[in-house]
Amino acid sequence: MLVEGARILDVGALEKFDANKGAERIELPGVTLFPGLIDAHSHLFLHPYNETSWDDQVLKESEAYRTLRAARHAQATLESGFTALRDLGTEGAGTADVALKRAIEDGIIPGPRLFVATRAIVATGSYGPAARNYSGFHPGPDCCLPQGAEEASGIDEIVRAVRRQASLGADWIKLYADYRTGPQGEVRPTFSEAELRAAVEAAHDSGRPVAVHAMVDEAMRRAAVAGVDTIEHGYGGSRETFALMAKTGIAFLPTLTAPEAIAEYFHAHDDSREPTENMAMAAKAFQFARDEGVIIGCGSDVGVFAHGTSRRELAWMVRLGMRAVDALEAATAVNAKILRQESELGRIRAGFRADLVGSRRDPTRDIAALSDICFVMKDGVIVSDTESGRRP
């Protein structure tokens, strides 16, 4: 492979490159080389909830502090072989993701290439931190709890929110189609079909795709009918709704690792125990999506669990029946297409970005090889190379 600048110039047999006398030669014998991995559902501004609860991160950690943490998270992610992320909301850190993206692009800090959503958009009163959880708090016109997302109600407000996030630097628009708003804290749809449709139209008019958080089937159905581009989580989705997604080309990011992490933190779950109800629901939804031929990308919800370990999502995909090579494709070529980057990322091909990762083992045979990364290159620049002993 011949790399020039940030791109792959050519790929072929070694003899093909003998004339390139001035090229620096990097040898990685026995290493399996594959395209840089992509996690299409991440939260760089969060860290595991067993360290600090979500509410406390939003309420007690300043935006500056969270941004500094996010920079470290970005470095750990890149060094683990994930050279691109779609970050789906700063969860109370405003538009700091736009600044983080710029700092990475300008070479100030190391990190994956980012596709950001700034603040997610939620129905008024539906998100967190929830006032009902804070005894004696009664929000008034001049006082409110900090929120993890931007609130909107009605078509005019949701369209205004979409346009605001776009103007602030969002590459994607993130909507919450449901949340824990029921009388007993159960998950209920929040935005109406008309509100979702208006938001999607406004986003698409601006050239931005739409990602939707949806846990219950009715919220997923509304989102699909509204014409969104991706649905995240989907644990309660029916076979019929996944069939609708397949028919309309809506991609699914299953975030299988998140319920496992929550079970570990709060229910003392480990591999010796049966899956929790939420883990079982996620597995069932994943199977429905596979059965119905839905486009499935790799999106882990990392931030709920430790950054630099997004590979856990691919392990879950394989554990639940996907071939290792298909899981790798989900995290490379499929995710690149979801991100509208199919001519730039996700393949080792002339003209593509030189985002390359190497493992001492073959991950197409054993997905656990992703825990043995020995070489990472992004945009033609070596990030790490522990195999040849060459220092970046």
| 17 in any annotated domain | no
- The mean pLDDT value for 143-148 works out to 78
Query: Which of 101-110, 262-271, 351-360 is least confident?
Result: 262-271
Give residue 141's pLDDT: 52
Judged against a pLDDT cut of 90, whether residue 66 lies above it is answered with yes
- Inside any domain, residue 174: yes
**First CA to last CA across the chain, in angstroms?**
18
Query: Which tokens in the block code for residue 94?
Result: 């405003």
Look at residue 285 in the predicted model and tell me its pLDDT. Answer: 98
Give the structural domain span for 154.
35-132+145-376
CA distance linking residue 132 with residue 137, whole number of Å: 8
Closest CA to 252 of 272, 237, 274: 237
Once rounded to an integer, what is the mean pLDDT over residues 299-324?
98
CB-CB neighbours of 213 under 10 Å:
25
Residue-wise pLDDT for 183-200, tens only, equals 999 999 999 999 999 999
> Which amino acid belongs to residue 46?
L
CATH number, domain with residue 40: 3.20.20.140
Secondary structure of the chain in HEC code, one letter for each residue = CEEECCEEEECCCHHHHCCCCCCCCCCCCCCEEEECEEEEEECCCCCCCCCCCHHHHHHHCCHHHHHHHHHHHHHHHHHCCEEEEEECCCCCCCCHHHHHHHHHHCCCCCCCEEEECCCCEEECCCCCCCHHHCCCCCCECCECCCCCCEEECHHHHHHHHHHHHHHCCCCCEEEECEECCCCCCCCEECCCHHHHHHHHHHHHHCCCCEEEEEEEHHHHHHHHHHCCCEEEEEEECCHHHHHHHHHHCCEEECCCHHHHHHHHHHHCCCCCCCCCHHHHHHHHHHHHHHHCCCCECCCCCECCCCCCCCHHHHHHHHHCCCCHHHHHHHHHHHHHHHCCCCCCCCCCCCCCECCEEEECCCCCCCHHHHHCEEEEEECCEEEEECCCCCCC
Residue 298 reports pLDDT greater than 80: yes
- Residue 15 domain flag: no
Condensed to tens digits (0 to 9), the pLDDT of residues 317-345 reads 999 999 999 999 999 999 999 999 999 99
CA dihedral sign of residues 378, 383, 384, 385: positive
- Alpha-carbon Rg for the chain, nearest whole angstrom, is 21
Query: Average pLDDT for residues 3-21, to the nearest whole number?
Result: 86
Count other C-beta atoms under 10 Å from residue 319's C-beta: 12
Residue 392 lies in a domain: no
- What confidence score (pLDDT) does residue 312 get? 98
- Taking the C-alpha atoms of residue 355 and residue 112, their distance in angstroms, rounded to an integer, is 10
In this structure, are strands 32-35 and 356-359 parallel, antiparallel, or unpaired?
antiparallel
Does 144 have pLDDT greater than 90?
A: no
| Domain contains 107 | yes
Residue 3 belongs to a domain: no
Looking at the structure of the chain, the number of domains it has is: 1
270: pLDDT confidence band, cut at 50, 70 and 90?
confident
Residue 23 domain-assigned (yes or no): no
Alpha-carbon separation of residue 103 from 97, 192, 327, 380 (angstroms): 10, 37, 30, 18
Q: How far is CA 128 from CA 132, 180, 218, 291, 377, in A?
A: 10, 10, 22, 35, 38
pLDDT at 296 over 60: yes
In order of 2, 10, 110, 190, the CA distances from 18 in angstroms are: 11, 13, 33, 62
